[in-house]
Chain A
Amino acid sequence: MTSLGLLCLMAQRNLWRNTHRTLLTTGTIALGLALLLISLGLGSGGDRQMLDGAVRLMGAHVAIEARGYDATRSLDRTISAADIPAMVSVLNGHGFGTPAVLPRLYASGLASSADGSSGVSIIGIDQDAEAPVSAIDDHIVAGSYLGTSATNSAVIGFGVARKLALSPGSKFVLMAQGPGSGDIQSVLLRVMGITRTDVDDLDQTAIFLPLATAQSLTGLEGRVHQAAIVLGDVEQSGPAADALRGRAMPDVDILTWQQLMPSQRDLIRVNVAGRVLVDVAFFLIIAFLVLNTLLMSVVERRREFALLDAVGVTPRRRFLLVLIEGAWVATFAVVAGAGLGFAGHLYFKHVGLPLRLLSSSAMSAAGAAIDPVLYSALAPSQLFGTAALVFLLTVVLALIPSWKAATDADAHLLR
């Protein structure tokens, strides 16, 4: 055994000399870390679910649009629907799985029924391509989703249906102005279904039409405003956008979800900032508890440190002894806390936390419906990063009692 080995042995035995104190300190850190990981997992999971919900309600992870469309929403800034497969081909076979590519056309219009008129947002979609990834059909409260062969039919928002007193099977006239000439076209549509997403923008104004019907109504045959791309994982958005940008495509913009859905982006930023504040407060509380316990243990052992000084244990070695004790505590606590936290994360990942416990009404945020059950999502970097941070914090805190042990050796305590 070397002198370092001796210090390690002494440190380990010192910890178990006062089992209660060691377990209390270790338990405090472990529990703190576990709660931190669970809260981190649920927070990240919530953000991810909100984002996923927004993507599934007419959002996208990445989108290809005509240059300037996002800023101007100008009807004539379109891309050719026929060019889209070639544009996104760069994503195939590069680790992005099989992304869903959804051509969409957007316009404003006026919907009229026997009971009145209402300004509406027209959304032309490829119903077959949208079906596997869109949540619109999940929110149909009356009637059904657009069928494959549907032409002059529409799915309308709950608010539109109420204003125009429409129900599945009812007919209404939709008018829209095409680009350029300014001619107003109209089409008679049958209500196929009514959707209620709890997102006001969609419920109050949206009318979903088959893409061909929307193109015909607006005079934009063969054109779309957006090729929305939905990936398997939101984390792939950046690399996918980079891959698309790497392919020379003139007169198009490649937008990521942060640009497409700025309110979700800002909400997530606020959430992250809030979590950081809570985490810092949490860290500080744990830090003071741990520091208090470590300091108490050193104050109670002043006689022991005086003895070690008397028999020739240098201040450096006494410092190291207490630091090793701190490192042992940190190791036990971090292993236990990370294990406990990860178990909690797994539980909430599979079972989820029902938000109904907090609120009985449906919730939405930043234009996206919030899933009533919150599922944890904890990235390995969050797990290991937080565990490493807690370990480091504990060891750094142990520097204070270590310094005290190194400098506070009072020979008068020895008889």
Chain B
Amino acid sequence: MTDTDTELLRIENVTRDYRQGDQTVHALRNVSFTAARGEFIAIAGPSGSGKTTLLNLCAGLDHPTEGTVRLAGRDLSTMSRQQLADMRLREVGFIFQAYNLIPVLSAEENAEFILLLQGVPFAERRRRVRALLHEVGLEGMESRRPGQLSGGQQQRVAVARAIAAEPRLVLADEPTANLDTDTALALLKIMDRLNREHHCTFIFSTHDPRVMNRAHRIVHMVDGRIESDERHDEAAP
């Protein structure tokens, strides 16, 4: 069994309902899904199809109404908020559509944020973050605050932050939605390369066909259900 075949995430018969006033919104309906280590998966679908809810459940940011979510063999529903946050700190990287960098920290401080909370020593932290910022093309911008960076640059900092601690799973919610085509493709290339080099599992949501084509596996969602789950042997260059 290779690394890629090792199961990292298992979602079984998950349903997630929300109350909105008097109405119940079925965000996810009996969804089952697994992801192996090193996969590069796109969750595709129109707005309101349940992509973000699925990603939030994968990270333990939300809890299913029914069903179970297991990450690295652990049932997330049995963990406390403290344990979940600690698990995310060590196992999960997050990339958001709106970048969501910490505004009071510089690019370098944002990128090393997770490492610092993990207690990685200064020299090791600095070496890894400098190398990563170089990898994502942000050399020379280490001391800039998020407000001094373009959208694409902020998202690259977010990518660096997400993978700096070499998590097993990186979740990205519409990471290219706010970026122009060139920047989006450049970012995807970076994510793809990092996926190959660092062997971490990438799961990202998108409804952009250009982005979907970079994925090795595309999970299509409609109305809270998985409609199809396709593997691509060769992703678009």
Contact = CB atoms under 8 A, between A and B. Distances in A.
A binds B: yes
Interface of A: 1-3, 6, 10, 13-14, 17, 303-304, 307-317, 407, 409, 411-412, 414-415
B89 A313 contact: yes
A291 B58 CA distance: 36
Nearest to A312: B89
B220 to A, nearest CB: 21
B13 interface: no
22 contacts: A1-B116, A6-B113, A10-B105, A13-B104, A14-B104, A304-B103, A307-B96, A307-B102, A308-B102, A309-B61, A310-B88, A310-B100, A311-B88, A311-B89, A312-B90, A312-B117, A313-B89, A317-B117, A411-B62, A412-B56, A414-B96, A414-B98
A407 B100 CA distance: 20
A405 B56 CA distance: 19
B86 interface: yes
Contacts of B97: 415
Q: Top 7 nearest A-B pairs by Cβ distance?
A: A312-B89, A13-B104, A411-B61, A312-B88, A314-B85, A307-B100, A411-B56
A312 B92 contact: yes
Chain A interface, >50% SS class: helix
A310 B174 contact: no
Contacts of A312: 85-90, 92, 114, 117
Contacts of B62: 411-412
A14 B145 CA distance: 13
A310 B59 contact: yes
B228 interface: no
Contacts, number: 80
B52 interface: yes
Contacts of A304: 102-103
B10 to A, nearest CB: 20
B86 A414 contact: no
A412 B105 CA distance: 23
Given A310-B61, A415-B96, 19 more contacts: A3-B116, A6-B113, A6-B116, A10-B104, A13-B105, A304-B102, A307-B96, A307-B102, A308-B102, A310-B88, A310-B96, A310-B100, A312-B92, A314-B85, A315-B81, A317-B117, A412-B56, A415-B98, A415-B173
Contact of B102 (A10, A309, A315): A10
B119 interface: yes
Interface string B67-98: 00000000000000110011111101010111
A17 B104 contact: yes
Contacts of A317: 117
B63 to A, nearest CB: 10
Contacts of A415: 52, 96-98, 173-174
A310 B58 CA distance: 11
A312 B164 CA distance: 13
A314 B89 CA distance: 8
B105 A309 contact: no
